[in-house]
A = this chain, B = another copy of it.
Amino acid sequence: MIKAGVIGATGYAGQQLTGLLVNHPQAEVAFVSSNSYAGQKFSDVYPQFYRVLDQTLLSTEEAMQAMDGVDVVFTALPNGLVFDIAQKAMEKNVKLIDFSADFRLDDAQVYEKWYKTEHTAKHLIRQQVYGLPELWRDRIKGARLIANPGCYTTASILAVSALLREEGLIDPDRIIIDAKSGITGSGRKKDISLLYAEAGESVKAYGIANHRHTPEIEQELSKVAGREICLQFTPHLMPMKRGILATIYVDLQKDVTEEDLYQVYEKYYGAEPFVRIRRGMCETRFVVGTNFCDISVRVDPRTHRAVITSCIDNMMKGAAGQALQNMNIICGLKETAGLDRLSIVAP
């Protein structure tokens, strides 16, 4: 059994991961921690876990101590709080899978510019592997420090990278990503704008031209394209709990059919356990509760564009599910372990 600790278990992503670990046939929850709720039971904070996981939440400090006996630690904390924990984990030879952005960007300066936070563990960046298995599975295998990708970024990179890999297929300078997310993406925060009475039955854009997932998407797509990518990314908040739909506009540089594009997607993802290429349309409810990324594409002959839709559950393939997938890989388990069951919750 893999012993796993969760630091920051009471945010939405941490809670989801904890649930996945409880269900995992070859893993167990070594400890859960939360600064806000330390000393309380996990099931007091999330009563759905009553009689399922009644462990007492540790403080971050206690969690640092508890790391010793574990195989892997997950950190699901706000950005800027993982530097010391990562240092400690590396020292103790504990594998770390981090949900924050602290180690996602290869260039500390880019991190500091977009996150307006000093990066105090720059020496660890080189050890980091960006945890998107469909792109970097081989590197993940031997990694000790995984930067678990962002939710918008996962949906976006998976959809665009396959087309970018095909020389001259799309114009790399004209990518536009219009993404729609459920409200859990904003976290479990005491914020008037996240109240049911405010966020329900309404949609809005936010972070236009400055959302922090932009450099992350650009970084990964630049690696794939072998050149600098600068793109447009606009996130929106939807009146729903979970799910992301990214609608992506790319300019076609070749005269291709829809079927041609589907062939490209099949070529890169046909063997992937968690990417489904759909001829029909994507809807977020088809992936909610699962680790799937669903991708669909349409060609507009009038505008010579392809319009791609890509759906994930922001909590699953966009956070906790992907983290578990990464854990499975670095721990030598079957990649789909604990993730192979369809959520029965839809509809």
Interface residue ranges, A against B (CB under 8 Å): 12, 15-16, 19-20, 22-23, 46-52, 176, 178, 180, 182-184, 188-192, 194-206, 208-209, 230-232, 234, 236, 238-243, 245, 247, 249, 276, 278, 280-290, 294, 298-303, 305, 307, 309, 315-316, 320, 341-347
Contact = CB atoms under 8 A, between A and B. Distances in A.
Report the 6 A-B pairs with minimum CB-CB distance, sorted nearest first: A202-B285, A209-B300, A19-B344, A190-B190, A204-B283, A178-B178
A150 B347 CA distance: 19
Contact of A196 (B15, B195, B280, B305): B195
Given A183-B196, A195-B195, A232-B249, 15 more contacts: A16-B344, A19-B343, A23-B341, A50-B276, A184-B197, A188-B192, A190-B192, A200-B240, A202-B288, A203-B238, A203-B240, A230-B302, A242-B345, A249-B249, A316-B344
Copy tally for this chain in the complex stands at 4
A180 B245 CA distance: 12
A184 to B, nearest CB: 5
A316 B315 CA distance: 23
Nearest to A251: B174
Given A22-B342, A197-B184, A48 B285 contact: yes
20 contacts: A19-B344, A22-B342, A48-B285, A48-B342, A50-B276, A50-B294, A176-B249, A201-B201, A201-B241, A202-B243, A202-B288, A203-B240, A203-B245, A203-B283, A204-B309, A208-B298, A209-B300, A209-B301, A234-B307, A238-B238
Given A48-B342, A285-B48, A347 B197 contact: yes
A247 B206 CA distance: 11
Given A51-B276, A192-B190, A278-B47, A243 B203 contact: yes
A203 B19 CA distance: 22
A231 B307 CA distance: 13
Contacts of A51: 276
A91 to B, nearest CB: 32
Contacts of A287: 48
Task: Choose among A46, A196, A202 the residue with the greatest number of B CB atoms under 10 Å from its CB.
Answer: A196
A343 B19 CA distance: 8
